[in-house]
Amino acid sequence: MLVRTGTKSREHVTDAGLIVAIEEPVCEWRRQRENEPPDGWCLARWTEPPPIQDWQTQFGGTFGYPKDGYWFSIASLKNGVEPSEEFCYLCADQIDFQRSLGFHKTLQLMMDNRERRDAKNKAEIGLMIDDCFVNHVPGARGGSYSAPSTKFN
């Protein structure tokens, strides 16, 4: 994937003799998924090449024209997993289903999943804390700890 890393300034002299500063993007190619192994499989979407005139208008000579189209990575598979034809069809069906939900429904499902995960994590952390930090109030119980009362009747 081409990533913009900054800008480069240069001067340009116009036909009228004016000197104009031009900011040009500085880009470099980077792997789309930095944390994935380089030899693994990924799901990707192939995009047809746009009309060359549109490409030249939008990008000029900054990027080479993708005459054979280009691939955009969607998701990496786990290391050692090799996709079968059936697996690819299942993934395509899942993507179609997700697209059929629409943006707002998909966003709501993502937020619901995050809330459930956060609530589960909070409960687990609470149990860990209860096991480590007990109630040290004399005469009270806390977790598996019992502090005898220091008051005599």
- Segment 54-73, tens digit of pLDDT: 888 888 777 788 888 887 77
Does residue 118 carry a pLDDT above 90? yes
Question: Which of 28-32, 82-86, 110-114, 124-128 comes out lowest in average pLDDT?
Answer: 28-32
* Domain map (residue ranges) of the chain: 103-153
> Is a pLDDT exceeding 70 seen at residue 150?
no
Model pLDDT, residue 112 = 94
Q: What pTM was computed for the model?
A: 0.37
User: What does the pLDDT read at residue 139?
Assistant: 58
Is the backbone of residue 10 left (phi > 0), alpha (psi -120 to 50) or beta? beta
Confidence of residue 136 (pLDDT cuts 50, 70, 90): low
Q: In this predicted model, what pLDDT tens digit does every residue of 5-38 receive, in sequence order?
A: 777 888 888 888 888 888 877 777 666 656 655 6
